[in-house]
Structure 1
Amino acid sequence: MFTGLIQAQGIIQPLGRDRFQIRIPPAQGASLLAEMAMGDSVAVDGVCLTVESLLPDGFVATASPETLTRTTLGSRNEASTYVNIEPSLQVGSKLGGHFVTGHVDGVGRLIRSVATDRAWEMTFGSLSGLSEVWEQNIARYLIPKGSIAINGISLTIAECDASGSWFQCAVIPVTYHETNLSHLQEGNWVNLESDILGKYVNKLLHHPSHHTSEHDISLSFLAEHGYL
């Protein structure tokens, strides 16, 4: 489990088709590296990976075929690129973002990035139209003021269209400069993870168990089970 608050930027480089080395500059991640151990879960651009070997300045991890298919890791070439790094949430740690699992739901593209006086207004969407994956895993969970993880970053949705084909986030300067959002160009792919709380509510409303009928779902039912 993660929070979507990035602690460092690393540099990822493929070691073949499914293995990657992630190096973290000591100036950014000295304390993070000092606490890292074999078997730890680390979010790399929002993808939960397991540390399988340690390097003096980073670690090596392997991605499963499903992960390569569903995330931007599958399109990495030989060039080194920046990725966002977050270690897993520890019991008792502050939860400053939102609950992020590290299980990416799909990818989207940066459509537009506009700098304003106080933020960067960044618009993301599926340039191939409302594909089944986008519609089922992303679009249905897009709501204004809702949460979404973009490359592992916890962000708030400022607005979106009715069909969910695009959404916009206002990114403050500290988030923009301390994550790889500042390296994105229009058309670049990003990893997206929808809000897990929205997924559970959707499950309750549309796929009731044999103990509950659709008519039993109410505000009091959701409150009783901790969703309100």
Structure 2
Amino acid sequence: MFTGIVEELGEIVAIDPQGDSVALAIRGPLVTEDAVHGASIAVNGVCLTVVDVKDGVFTADVIKETLDKSSLGALEPGSKVNLERPVRLSDRLGGHLVQGHVDGVGVIISREPGERWDVVTVSLPPDLSRYLVNKGSITIDGISLTVVEAGTDLALRGGTTPRTPRGDSVAHWFSVALIPTTLALTTLGHKKPGDPVNLEVDIVAKYVERMMGDRS
């Protein structure tokens, strides 16, 4: 379990293809301080298991299921990644409850710079939109963020409905505001429109949906 508070901006050192999976080597001196074989580290919001640690670099296997359901398959040597160790029961919950289980991949649609922050709009799979509410929580690439606005038609905000790089119209979207700390210390500081991002919705919303469904 994680909180979505990124501890370190790591870097992909090497990618070793192994059939339908890959082995990632990731540099992260801070998160590897107490890492051992079998430990968990969230990489761009994906919970991975440490295979080996040496000199501030850890390796982790990424299976086909994870490559298919997340943006980790788009990484290459030199890519920056958000890293977080699991939360301890004695820690403060600075963000929100994050499992490290990606629900889907979104695409950054636009960035609107402000004086000291950016407002970023992201598309999301239609089956995830019901879990988002204004001022609720969302995890983007492992970062706990607050939803500014969630909607189903960007054209209602004025202008033309934007499209993804593949040409698909954006029917479901949400926006978040990135403060200077987030811009400086996470990958969202340099992500641009068209870039994919890992999304994990609030687990509490999914539990409520399941319980209400059982009652009905």
Q: TM-score, normalised by structure 1?
A: 0.82
Q: Over residues 178-216 of structure 1, what are the superposed CA-to-partner deviations in whole Å (9 max), with x where a residue is unaligned?
A: 00111211100000000000000111122x0xxxx42xx
Pairs within 5 Å for 1:75-86: 75-76=74-75, 78-86=76-84
Structure having the higher strand fraction is 2
Aligned residues: 195
Q: Over residues 104-160 of structure 1, what are the superposed CA-to-partner deviations in whole Å (9 max), with x where a residue is unaligned?
A: 00101111111112321011004xxxxxxx222x21111100100000000000001
Aligned-residue sequence identity (percent) comes to 40
Give the CA deviation at 1:74. 2.1
- SS of alignment partner, residue 2 of structure 2: coil
Q: 1:191 aligns with which of 179, 184, 198?
A: 198
Q: Which amino acid aligns with 2:27?
A: R
Give the CA deviation at 1:162. 4.1
Residue 142, structure 1, aligned to residue 132, structure 2? yes
Deviating more after overlay: 143-152 vs 56-65: 56-65
Distance 2:178 2:39 in 1: 29
Q: 2:25 aligns with which of 18, 21, 27?
A: 21
| Correspondence for 1:130 | none
Residue 180, structure 1, aligned to residue 187, structure 2? yes
Runs (4+) of structure 1 exceeding 2 A deviation are: none
| Correspondence for 1:66 | 65
Give the CA deviation at 1:75. 2.7
Q: Over residues 58-94 of structure 1, what are the superposed CA-to-partner deviations in whole Å (9 max), with x where a residue is unaligned?
A: 2000012211110011233x44200000001112111
Q: Which amino acid aligns with 2:108?
A: L
Distance 2:151 2:33 in 1: 44
| Correspondence for 1:225 | none
Q: Which amino acid aligns with 1:202?
A: E
Structure 2: where are the runs of 5+ without partners? 154-170
Q: Which amino acid aligns with 2:133?
A: I
Residue 96, structure 1, aligned to residue 94, structure 2? yes
Distance 1:83 1:39 in 2: 20
Distance 1:181 1:20 in 2: 21
- SS of alignment partner, residue 34 of structure 1: coil
- SS of alignment partner, residue 58 of structure 2: strand
Structure 1: where are the runs of 5+ without partners? 127-133, 215-228
- SS of alignment partner, residue 74 of structure 1: helix
Structure having the higher helix fraction is 1
Distance 1:182 1:94 in 2: 25
Distance 1:118 1:159 in 2: 19
| Correspondence for 2:123 | 125
Distance 2:106 2:40 in 1: 24
Q: 1:113 aligns with which of 101, 104, 111?
A: 111
Residue 39, structure 1, aligned to residue 38, structure 2? yes
Distance 1:74 1:175 in 2: 24
Q: Over residues 21-54 of structure 1, what are the superposed CA-to-partner deviations in whole Å (9 max), with x where a residue is unaligned?
A: 0012x4xx2xx32211111110000000000111
Distance 1:183 1:61 in 2: 25
